[in-house]
Amino acid sequence: MDLVVFPEYALHGLSMDTNPEIMCRLDGAEVTAFQTACRNNKIWGCFSIMEYNPHGNPYNSGIIIDDKGELKLYYRKLHPWIPVEPWEPGNIGIPVCEGPNGSTLSLIICHDGMFPEMARECAYKGTEIMLRTAGYTAPIRHSWQITNQANAFCNLMYTASVCMCGSDGTFDSMGEAMIINFDGTPLVTGGSRPDEIITAEVRPNLVREARKLWGVENNIYQFGHRGYVAVKGGAQDCPYTYMQDLVNGCYRLPWEDEVVHKDGTSCGFPAPTRTYKGEELPRIPSERGG
């Protein structure tokens, strides 16, 4: 194998405990152990950590380490699972990195994959294989399947997704890792058995070929070049109200006032008092915009 991917919460367990004593740090013992394991076994690895944040709630973070033990990608989950998860929303965007054999990788975490904008951003930055780590339980199984497939097809990229498996006595995590072809077809799907490892061969050169040569189904290109048969170069405007409103800081749903869950109080968390500061912090450099 070139790359092994572990699920979200692999170290922490499916727990919302934010005790600083059990949080990880990028320069801590856990990450050092991951780096040593990758180097000693000459394999790339993708890992999950709950990361100490001196300025607020911990981050739900993911890292990719190469076969020499070097940290290649560092990501903070943008969309914690509301209202269940207490993690600070990520503020460093979605990085990409060069992966094994010249592939281009990105990483999103669990609930991130339910937002099509996340996968589109990965593809827009050149991702050929999008990793998705998760800790979902069985009621999410159908959504897990269709989003992994849709994210692949709509962006002409492989998706490789792994969910934690087994029971901790309270929660039953569903497992069902899957690798999806860039046309949306499952290449391999796991079950709900703990310690199961699924494997598949993915060929990024086929992604590159499809992105160059496909017509009708070249969704990632057509999105920004609407109607290029009729209009030279296609329309390259932004006709989507929600995008314009989000950029302008006035995103508001027609049913906004009727939404019941607007914080984590229903799950036992105190109502937050801090406002979000979205400044971008230093991150690992990438050749492809990460």
Q: Flag whether pLDDT at 9 surpasses 90.
A: yes
Establish whether 72 is a catalytic residue: no
User: Which of 89, 166, 82, 95 minimizes the C-alpha distance to 131?
Assistant: 95
- Residue 45 in tokens: 């690895």
Query: Radius of gyration (Cα) for the chain, nearest Å?
Result: 19
**pLDDT digit string, tens, across residues 68-122:** 999 999 999 999 999 999 999 999 999 999 999 999 999 999 999 999 999 999 9
**Portion of the chain with pLDDT greater than 70, in percent:** 96
CATH second-level architecture of 3-267? 4-Layer Sandwich (3.60)
Q: Flag whether pLDDT at 289 surpasses 70.
A: no
Q: How confident is the model over 215-241, as a mean pLDDT?
A: 96
Distance CA 181, CA 156 (A): 8
Amino acid, res. 209: E
**pLDDT digit string, tens, across residues 174-199:** 999 999 999 999 999 999 888 899 99
Q: Which of 38, 46, 72, 77 is catalytic?
A: 77
Q: Which of 110, 122, 163, 165 is catalytic?
A: 110
Distance CA 156, CA 130 (A): 11
Q: Which of 8, 85, 88, 128 is catalytic?
A: 8
Identify the pLDDT of residue 171: 79
Annotated domain spans of the chain:
3-267
Mean per-residue pLDDT of the chain: 94
Q: Flag whether pLDDT at 249 surpasses 60.
A: yes
Establish whether 110 is a catalytic residue: yes
Establish whether 232 is a catalytic residue: no
